[in-house]
Amino acid sequence: MATAAAHQAARTQAAHATSDATGTAPGQAPGTAAYQTAFDTAVAAEERIEPRDWMPDAYRATLVRQIAQHAHSEIIGMQPEANWITRAPSLRRKAILMAKVQDEAGHGLYLYSAAETLGTGRDELLDKLHSGRQKYSSIFNYPTLTWADVGAIGWLVDGAAITNQVPLCRCSYGPYARAMVRICKEESFHQRQGYELLLALSRGTEAQHAMAQDAVDRWWWPSLMMFGPPDDESSHSAQSMEWKIKRHSNDELRQRFVDICVPQAESLGLTLPDPDLVWNEERGHHDFGAIDWTEFWEVLKGNGPCNEQRITQRRQAHDEGAWVREAAATHAAKHSEAKHAEAQDSGANGKATA
């Protein structure tokens, strides 16, 4: 604890030194090497880097990119599920689904705020999303064709997200780690609700059971792709591990997810669409079939079933909302001007009477 405090003080001093240096005496600032050492020591000691601490530019850029992509995924991810809000087959399910979609909007808000602490605002990030310069999770480029897809998304997509995100609760960047703690709690709720939805279908009528199986058949492989390309093709992994942004490799997390899902699928009474899925006693894990990486890269490139539809709806909502945001900003400016003028008035009056 004492060391943590000392490091914190050193890093904050370093940060102050930077700002002093730019304003007054550039030559006297300690070299970047000193900040780098303080940063490295802090990361190695599992301390959290906070917004005011010095950090390498590449660390900042990596975080902004990752947090932005995560935030974009939350808000694009609202679409496939919102697709079923108006058709939810019971009022209880409708309430659960509306609350879930609302949670995802909330996750978007937390994450855009976390990115903001690194100096990049929401408007800029949305701009990059809308112009295709930043991505969101490819999973949301698949369509929700039946009600069972809502359950499959909860169980598999939120499930995969949790597997990916629980380690991020220990991410070296404080605001991101804290946002993830909140988000993971809600995602695990979503996962259980999705599972429960599928269970009701699986134990329901023949048609409901078939609907559930069909949804799992369509969502299983794309869910496995959510962990990203295999380790030998993953470009950012090594550095992110070193920075303790990432804790486990894509393949490790994917394996963990498969091992979690197999017994759950059994309890659901549904099968996973992989003939090669088998328990490997020696490894202590399930072996599973080859993933179609061509499909993964195609969807990533923009050729998935819904890429165009998702980004068009997002842009449209944004563009159609422009006059609302403009009105709110104009109103706020008028209001604060009026307040300002009032304050000046009373100030002037005060002087005149005094």
Partner 1 sequence: MTTSLNPASSADADAVTAAAALALGDDALVLSHRLGEWAGHAPVLEEEVALANIALDLLGQARVLLSLVGDEDELAYLREERAFRNVQLVEQPNGDFAHTIARQLYFSTYQRLLYGRLAETDGPLAGLAAKAVKEVAYHQDHAEQWTVRLGDGTAESHDRMQQGCDALWRHTGEMFQPVDGIDIDWPEIEASWTASVTAVLERATLAVPEGPRTGAWSAGAGRQGLHTEPFGRMLAEMQHLHRSHPGASW
Contact residues for Fe ion, defined by CB under 5 A: 74, 104, 107, 158, 187, 190
How far out from the chain centre does Cα 90 lie?
29
How large is the C-alpha radius of gyration of the chain? 25
CA dihedral 169, 114, 160, 129 (to 10 degrees): -160
Instruction: State the nearest-atom distance from the C-beta of 332 to partner 1, in Å.
Output: 8
Residues 141, 225: Cα–Cα separation, whole Å: 12
Instruction: State the nearest-atom distance from the C-beta of 158 to partner 1, in Å.
Output: 17
- 97-135 in b/e form (b: 16+ CB < 10 A) is beebbebbeebbebbbebbbbbebebeebbebbbeeebb
Closer to partner 1 at the Cβ: 97 or 156? 97
Taking CB within 5 to 8 Å according to partner kind, which of partner 1, Fe ion, none is near residue 208?
Answer: partner 1
Instruction: Kindly state the tokens that stand for 354.
Output: 């005094």
| Closest-CA residue to 35 (of 56, 49, 20, 50) | 56
Closer to Fe ion at the Cβ: 42 or 224? 224
How many chain residues interact with partner 1 (CB under 8 A)?
50
Taking CB within 5 to 8 Å according to partner kind, which of Fe ion, partner 1, none is near residue 5?
Answer: none
Show the binding pattern over residues 193-212: x = contacts partner 1 (CB under 8 A), - = does not.
----x--xx--xx-xx----
- 176-199 in b/e form (b: 16+ CB < 10 A) is bbebbeebbebbbbbbebbbbbbb
Q: Which stretch of DSSP H or E encloses residue 287?
A: strand 285-287
Q: Which stretch of DSSP H or E encloses residue 22?
A: helix 2-23
Closer to Fe ion at the Cβ: 185 or 301? 185
User: Dihedrals φ, ψ of 336, to 5°?
Assistant: -75, -30
Closer to partner 1 at the Cβ: 207 or 352? 207
Instruction: State the nearest-atom distance from the C-beta of 330 to partner 1, in Å.
Output: 5
Task: Determine which residue in the list 21, 34, 88, 145 makes contact with partner 1, applying CB under 8 A.
Answer: 88
Instruction: Specify whether the CB–CB gap between 159 and 223 falls below 8 A.
Output: yes
Taking CB within 5 to 8 Å according to partner kind, which of partner 1, Fe ion, none is near residue 260?
Answer: none
Residues 158, 103: Cα–Cα separation, whole Å: 12
- Tokens 């991101």: give the residue: 176
Closer to partner 1 at the Cβ: 87 or 170? 87
Instruction: State the nearest-atom distance from the C-beta of 148 to Fe ion, in Å.
Output: 17
Q: How many CB atoms lie within 10 A of CB 321?
A: 10
Instruction: State the nearest-atom distance from the C-beta of 161 to Fe ion, in Å.
Output: 6
Taking CB within 5 to 8 Å according to partner kind, which of Fe ion, partner 1, none is near residue 271?
Answer: none
Range 287-346, binding partner 1 (CB under 8 A) = 313, 316-318, 320-328, 330-332, 334
Instruction: Kindly state the tokens that stand for 349.
Output: 């009056």
Instruction: State the nearest-atom distance from the C-beta of 247 to partner 1, in Å.
Output: 29
Residues 169, 171: Cα–Cα separation, whole Å: 6
Closer to Fe ion at the Cβ: 48 or 70? 70
Instruction: State the nearest-atom distance from the C-beta of 319 to partner 1, in Å.
Output: 10
Task: Determine which residue in the list 16, 87, 185, 339 makes contact with partner 1, applying CB under 8 A.
Answer: 87
Q: Which stretch binds partner 1 (CB under 8 A): 50-58, 82-90, 129-137, 246-254?
A: 82-90
Range 136-165, binding partner 1 (CB under 8 A) = 147
Which residues of the shown chain bind partner 1 in the complex (CB under 8 A)?
A: 75, 78-79, 82, 85-95, 98-99, 101-102, 105-106, 108-109, 112, 122, 147, 197, 200-201, 204-205, 207-208, 313, 316-318, 320-328, 330-332, 334
